[in-house]
Amino acid sequence: MNRQTKMSFFIMGYGHLRAKQYLKGCIYLAVQIAFMMYLVHIGFEQIVGLITLGDKPYDVFNGITGDHSTFMMVYGVFAWMVTALFFVIYRVSIVDCIKVYNQIEEGKKLPTTKEIISSLVNEKFYVTMLFLPVLGAIFFTIIPLIFMVLIAFTNFGAPNHLPPAQLIDWVGFGSFRKLFSLRVYADTIYKIGSWNIVWATVSTFVYYFGGVFLAVLINRKGIKGKKFFRSSILMSFAVPSFISLLGLRYFFSPFGPLNKFLMGTFELAGPIDFLVSKWSARTTAFFVGGWLAIPTTMLLVTGILTSIPEEVYEAAKIEGATKLQIFHRITLPHVIFATTPVLISSFMANFNNFGLFYFFTGSRPYSDGYFLANDSDLLINWLYNLSLENAYYAVAAAVGLILFVFMAISSLIVFTRSKSYRMEDEFR
Amino acid sequence: MIKLRREKVIDILVYILIASIVIVWLFPIIWLFASAFNGQGTMYDQKGFFPEVWSLKNFTVLFTDTSYFYYPKWLANTLYIAIVSCIGATFMNTITAYTMSRYRFKGRKTMMNITLVIGMFPGFMSMIAIYLILMMFDMLENLNSLILIYVSGAGLGFLVQKGYFDTITTSVEEAARIDGANNFIVFWKIILPMARPILVYTALMAFAAPWSDFIFAKMILGSNREVWTVAVGLMDMAGGAGTGDISQYFARFAAGSMLIAIPISGLFLVLQKYIATNLGGAVKG
């Protein structure tokens, strides 16, 4: 390593400038100066701010400004990311500097400024293309996610830690401990969690086989108007779901049309509680969920059915197989094999079926024995209630992280499984 | 002979079964749309499932009585968001998908994995943070903030499009490169025309999204009724607009819903083939 490279450790771009690589040298130097100025002006304060989270709250009554803990967190996350980015560029500059001097030693010609720019269009084209998407993802997806993961380890939230009038602090795994040891939280998470798992399992299987059944039924030979039947059923999928769910909420409400009709026809004493008590709400939601979800499975399975070669069926018929046998031995295995990945992704979708339990049953009042949730809510709805409705941010973030871990583990299992599926296919 | 007759009986039974299923599926939608034509007082006064007095009153009211429900304004807002975010999101999505499909570079696999991991977080996790960030920059209750978020998140949804680009042969590109075309020309003149079906699909999906997004829109647009989108406004109508009586504005909600549901449903029915392929293809990765 020569003197110029060593100097580049302290002054970025020094080596490049000495080697007459003016464009790169100037950029690296500018990056370093900009970063230094950023650190001196606000960066350092923000980096420290993420650790302390402030020590002087706003005095709202007297209009005295202080430390806004959550803003400090957002700025802090940003500052740490800028710092990380700087060190990535720093490393790149050193590596490139070494490369440049190696090229000089070997007597190779160095790229001119023009060549460097044209390489951005050619070899490094992906950098140009991905610049905007990556920037967008960092600002509005990655920074918010990091922020929320960090929130899970603070005490941010109602009732005692809401900036600007109050400060927040790091509490480590405090929120998680609270979630499992404090009666109110622990009861709720246990009740909702078990219902959530039951719900996801039952609904996935019933909706899936409902879709297969519908597809096979309509696909029956000799049935006319297949297209019309399919499109009619697909209407429930085509209408934006929040509209149909809000409509159905009224449809099933105590004084809604269905109850009026039933009361008028059967002379009932009072309205049937489709959405009032725990299990009636859950059951009604189950049917409505099926009404929404079954058409997509049907659509998918219909496509797969047409991909089964006709000869297979012919051969089975010649062998004397009954219709039931054909369905059981040929159609069903084929469909299940082709749709397993979808089965899993629809399990995930059902597990986090926010829309159904928000628009349809979400207006039910919070239930006894549940903390800020009603007894038909799923974990994702509880997460929504906790955070956006009631400002229990830290607890909500902890619930969100638990959901994330659950999703990640299931996906991992699925991933390894589906690989073995593919291997199996190769052995055949 | 007996066998043939048995088949026929089964056929009839199957028809009856399918017909009843179709009725179950269509009834709520027909009922909802019929409610839009309810001509008497509130929905509460209606006796059966369908209106006794049919009228277009609910539709005219949507556009004339705008003292509390700014429906025309909401339509214009949503249309604006839909058009701008459709262009932006399609652009972001396409360049990401194309680059991820065609170029091999350091960190590509990492980026794909990060995308997958991000997808496993519940959507609301980041919402609060986005809310705070927008609050810091005083960007709440602003339509452009909503567009900014829709567009900047679009790059992450590249997997479906990438699958499509993967299926386009590279031979045409290589031929063009030999003729001296640079990357921009290859992308613009060769890839984009070949990828038209998926471009149309992406654009239409991006266009349809703002019409039915309620949660994000409500959070960012807040209580300023002037800047609401149709979805936020309709939710307000369906909930009785603070009166606690959900039958109060229900007919109006039905009318307002119908106006946006018909084009969107049409779109989905036309695109059903694509959607089915993507349902199957998205997971296979």
Alpha carbon A256 to chain centroid distance?
35
pLDDT band at A308 (very low <50, low <70, confident <90, very high): confident
- What is the distance between the alpha carbons of residues B209 and B151, in angstroms, rounded to a whole number? 12
User: Model's pTM, two decimal places?
Assistant: 0.86
Q: Which of B206, B258, B210 is nearest to B232 (CA)?
A: B210
pLDDT band at B285 (very low <50, low <70, confident <90, very high): very low
Sign of the four-CA dihedral B11, B12, B17, B18: positive
Contact B182 A246 (CB under 8 A): no
Q: For an interface test with B, which of A153, A246, A252, A354 has the most B Cβ atoms less than 10 Å from its Cβ?
A: A246
Rounded to two decimals, the ipTM of the complex is 0.88
- Mean pLDDT rounded to a whole number for chain A: 87
Contact B14 A217 (CB under 8 A): yes
pLDDT band at B284 (very low <50, low <70, confident <90, very high): very low
Q: Looking at the partner chain, which of A136, A237, A387 has a beta carbon nearest the beta carbon of B153?
A: A136
Q: Which residue of A has its CA nearest to B276?
A: A300
| pLDDT score for A256 | 86
Contact B283 A248 (CB under 8 A): no
Residue B153 contacts A, CB cutoff 8 Å:
yes
- Cis, peptide link before residue A164, omega less than 30° from 0: yes
A-B CB pairs within 8 A amount to 260
pLDDT digits (tens, 9 = 90+) for A345-377: 788 889 999 999 999 998 888 998 899 999 999
- What is the distance between the alpha carbons of residues A238 and B271, in angstroms, rounded to a whole number? 10
- What is the distance between the alpha carbons of residues A360 and A376, in angstroms, rounded to a whole number? 10
Q: For an interface test with B, which of A129, A243, A381 has the most B Cβ atoms less than 10 Å from its Cβ?
A: A243
Residue B146 contacts A, CB cutoff 8 Å:
no
Contact B279 A241 (CB under 8 A): no
**Is the predicted pLDDT of residue B245 greater than 80, yes or no?**
no
Q: Contact, A391 vs A410, CB < 8 A?
A: no
Chain A residues close to B48, C-beta within 8 Å: 257, 260-261, 264
pLDDT digits (tens, 9 = 90+) for A110-154: 888 888 888 777 778 888 889 999 999 988 899 899 998 999 999
Q: Looking at the partner chain, which of A136, A147, A238 has a beta carbon nearest the beta carbon of B129?
A: A147
Q: By CB neighbour count within 10 A (0-12 exposed, 13-18 middle, 19+ buried), where does A159 fall?
A: exposed
Chain B residues close to A247, C-beta within 8 Å: 28, 31-32, 35, 238, 253-254, 257
Distances in Å between the Cα of A399 and the Cα atoms of A191, A350, A356, A394, B131 are: 14, 17, 20, 9, 19
Chain B residues close to A248, C-beta within 8 Å: 28
Q: Contact, A15 vs A3, CB < 8 A?
A: no
Residue B33 contacts A, CB cutoff 8 Å:
no
The arithmetic mean of pLDDT across residues B87-115, rounded, is 91
